[in-house]
Structures are given as structure tokens and as C-alpha cells.
Amino acid sequence: MKFFSTFLTLFIILSIDPGGCEEKIRALSSGDTNSSRSSQEKNPDEIPVYTEPEILDEAARVASNEAKDGQLIGVYFMPSWNISPDPNKDIDSFWACLMGREDCASIKNTAVWGPKGRIYNNRYPYEGPFLDRKPHSSLGGFYKRDDPNVAKKQLEYMKSYGIDFFAYDWFFGRHYYYHLYFGPQSTLYYPEGWRIDPKRDGRVAVPGLEEWNDQLTVLLKENEKLPPDKQMKWAINWCDDSDERWRLWLDVGSPESIRAGRNYEGEKPDKALYLQVHDKITQLWIDKYFKRTDYLKDADGRPIVYFYFPHDTEARASFYGITLKELLDRSKALAVKNGLKGIKFIAVTSGAMLPNEREFGMPTRWRANSIREPWRGGRYTDRMLFQDYVPRLKGMGFEGLTAYIYHNYMELQNRSYADMRRTYQAHWNRWSEFFKNDPNFEYQVPVAMGWDYRPAGGTWPQPTGFPSEPEKDRVHSNKASFKAKLEDARSLSEKYKSSNGNTVMICCWNEYLEGNHIEPSEGHGFDYLEAIKEVFMDRKMGFIPSPPTSVASSRNP
């Protein structure tokens, strides 16, 4: 979920920010940029003091968990997007790569594959199309992202097969300026009372907007129509992991950007603006999502936010001398100021563990090659191995840990689903034991149905045009092996319930390009949903299913 095409980003800029690209627009005086629709001014350096809420003691937490009926099952939901430069032609980022090579932006992405994109030859052949991943006919096959009937079916299937909530992979582009007086942009979110420039069509003083949220909008609209007992809970999984977005942020106000008309003099990505954008993100969550009745909250009523690869944000914030704890505390304090009880952050992360893999470890600092021209690029430094990074999470303000997918554990590597089960079991055991005596930090047991990145070019993209580890694109499961993994996860979650809580996180509902999708498809039908229902839902209702009759081997999953 970390690779996005450059031309897509440029297309978005042209679509939502026409004022920034018109040569006729001339820079106005700096005094004009301070115009506002409110007399209120916000000082980004004034961080409200965040006081930790009273946390239930261990006995109370156990009682709270026992009051719940079994595990809480969550699943990650990955949005797709239009890769066509023609706004009148929608080419879905998922379906194009499953159907063939012609319109697959992932394999043409020169930022990750090099100048020729993904190169196919006899040694690294094209093995598509991947039509077995076509969504089930009941979903309409290769459906449109914003089809309300599809969203209705997705919610129905999740609920009826025992999934309690979905964590929506949520993206935010910090660098986008827009104009509230310009019709197509007038409905974009902007916090009430924040500064705009009325002389520039209501240009916002604090940039940034949601990306690829059209599916979320439709899902929530359909969810609202359902009776309360039929609604799905949901949460944000904040994916702030893109280096490309970071570079676009640093480019704000650069000489090239000003000449191109994207920015005006005085617009610059300094520490003050970075903090304001962070506040804008949090305020958006509060205004649009946290106060909804279907948003996932903990026992104390705090909204839960999953945070994908927090080390990326930590590294980039360090450029301004800001710690990740400061950012999380800032968000929690803003939530309290808005009448909430705070925010519960769960880290979603994994990484290299062997000493000889440190160069691929988790960075905690980003250093510009030129402090005067940071938009020219930089390097990620102070890398840590995963087992050294995890103990720092609580001190940074997190109250839980889970994963999107584990590719390895020490020497263990995933080259089959049997390998993946061993890798996951090793992580489960280690982190459940590590946090078992901490009632205020939970390890949410993660589960994945497999991995096969071939539709997007293979594991992992290299500038040479070839994948570095294509042998890892055969991590395939079936209902029996997936169900066995779910049974193991359920048993471990119950064993460590006093510290782990009762949440099991499944990857993923629809990571089609990564071969990690439990949504009903032509290839596997409803097998994966049936496995979830049999392990968790039927057990809740009093039916104890028999164990799988056969579990696939690594050779024949």
C-alpha cells in the first residue's frame, strides 16, 4: 500500500487547485494573505496540556473484556483511485492491474521501478491477468468505487459474517492549497474560523485535504441508513507513510513551485505550518468522524485511531525538532478541547529484525541534503530494528500495537502460507508475552490471508525494473489454512485477554494488488468470510465448529 504514481499526484493538483496553476494569477501583498473570515487567530506553538485520563485498573479491564462476547474482529479496507489523467475516464487502480498491463499504473511507476517501469522478460515474465481476483458477481464484478449498491453489499457481508468493524486506510495530502470561493472546491473541508484569503478566491491559509475518501463517503452514507444493530463500526487507519507526499510538502513555496503558480510568496512548509496542518487533520477527524455513532470507540468513549507505520511520521517530524509524542499529545488535547475524552492510538507496524538488515530498518530521523533547499531531497537515518522500536511505542503515546502484515520474523521469511503461519506465531508469542503485564497497552493479534504482489509487478520493486524477491509472491492460503490460522489467533487472544484486550485484526478486505483480500471473489467465493464466521460468529452463537479437516501444506496451499 506504499506505492503511488507520480502523474496521479500531478493530476490531482490540476483537478482541485486550478487557481494555483493559472499563469495570470499574480502574487498579492503579504498583508492580503492574513485576511480571514474570523477574528480568531491560532498560534501553532501553543499546545494545550494533555492530561492522561484515568485508566481502568487491571481487574476492571478484565471485567470489561469479559463482559464482551468473544473477540472483536476488525478488517483493513484499502481504497482504490482513478489513475486516468482524463477526468471523464475512470480507470480503477485495482482493476486495471488485475485485467492486464496496458493501464496498470503500478507497473509503470518510474519512481519505484526505474525509467522503464517494470521490465518483463523470460526470467521475470508477466504472469497475468489475474482474473481469479475479480470480485464476486453479487458485487457486480469489477465494480465502481462509489456505487452505493456495492457499499451496501460490502457492509452486509461484513456484518453477517462476523466482522465487527473496518479500519479504513486514510490518506491526507498536506501540500494541497485550495479555494473555498471556487465552486468545485467550495465543499472541501476547512475548520470553521480558520484564515482564508478573500482576495484570492478564499484561498486557505492552512493546506491539506483528504485523498481517496470517496469510498468511505459512500460506505458511511449507506451505513447511516441501516438500523443501529445492523450498522458496522469503523475506524481510521492513518497512512502517513508516503515519501512522495513528503517531498511534495517540502516543495511548497520552492522557487519552482512559485514559478509554476502552485504557491505564492510567503507560503512555506515551516514548523508553524506543519503543526497547523497536523491540527487541521485532527480537527477534521473530530468534525467529520469522531462524533458519529458508528465510529469505533473504546470502553471510555475515546475514538480509536490506527496509525500505519508511525516511524515514517516520527522521522519527518524530527526535521522540525518535533517528537511523535508531541504530535499525539497535541491531537489528544484538541479532542478533549472539543468535548471528547481523548484519542486512543494503536500503532500498525512491522519491520526488519536481523542486524544485517539494519539498513532496511525503521528510520526515526529525516535529514535534508541541503537545509536551505530541503525539497531537493534527503535521507532517512537513525534506523532501528523492529524489536528495538516496539518498546518505545508506549512512551510516544500509543496504547496498542498490531500489524498490517508480517513478512518476516528474524530468520523466518514468508515464501508460503505455512511459512507465514510460523512467522505470525513467532510475533504473536513475543509481543503477547512482552506486554502481558501491562494492562494499559494491548497487542491486537493480527491475521493475514496471504501475499502475492504480482499484479503490481512483484515483491519488491527495484529501480532496475525487476522485483528483488519474487519468490515471496506465492504466499497463498485456502479456507482450511486460513481457518486454522484464525483458530490459532482466537486461542492466543483468549489466553492473553487480560492484556491483549479482545481485538483480532485481519488484513485485508480488499488489498487486491497484494493478494490479501477476503472480499468475495470469483476465485475463492465466500470461503474467507465463511472461515471467519465459523471461528468467531458461530462460536458466539453457541455452535462450536469442528477443526479443519485438512490444512494446506506449503507446497499446496
Residue 40 CB coordination number (10 Å): 10
CA distance 20 to 253: 12
Which residues are within 8 A (CB) of 12 and not within 5 positions of it... i.e. 6 or more apart? 173, 176, 211
In the chain, what are the domain boundaries? 1-67+164-381, 71-140+403-557
Give the SS3 label for residue 263.
coil
Residue bearing cell 464482551: 68
The b-or-e profile of 154-167 (16+ CB within 10 A means b, else e) is: bbebbbebbbbbbb
CA dihedral angle for residue 544, residue 550, residue 551, residue 557, rounded to 10 degrees: -130
Q: Each residue's pLDDT tens digit in the chain (557 positions)? A: 644 443 344 333 334 333 333 223 223 233 333 344 433 344 545 555 555 544 334 433 433 343 345 799 999 999 999 999 898 899 999 999 999 999 999 999 999 999 999 999 999 999 999 999 999 999 999 999 999 999 999 999 999 999 999 999 999 999 999 999 999 999 999 999 999 999 999 999 999 999 999 999 999 999 999 999 999 999 999 999 899 999 999 999 999 999 999 999 999 999 999 999 999 999 999 999 999 999 999 999 999 999 999 999 999 999 999 999 999 999 999 999 999 999 999 999 999 999 999 999 999 999 999 999 999 999 999 999 999 999 999 999 999 999 999 999 999 999 999 999 999 999 999 999 999 999 999 999 999 999 999 999 999 999 999 999 999 999 999 999 999 999 999 999 999 998 888 999 999 999 999 999 999 999 999 999 999 999 999 766 655 544 444 333 333 33
CB 343 within 8 A of CB 355: no
CA distances 402 to 332, 390, 396, 440, Å, are 20, 10, 15, 15
Phi, psi of 148 (to 5 degrees): -65, -30
CA dihedral angle for residue 467, residue 238, residue 211, residue 73, rounded to 10 degrees: 90
Which residues are within 8 A (CB) of 421 and not within 5 positions of it... i.e. 6 or more apart? 481, 484, 485, 488
SS3 letters across 385-447 = CHHHHHHHCHHHCCCEEECCCCCEECCEECCCHHHHHHHHHHHHHHHHHHCCCCCCCEECEEE
CB 250 within 8 A of CB 375: yes
User: Among residues 542, 535, 496, which one has the least CA distance to residue 65?
Assistant: 496
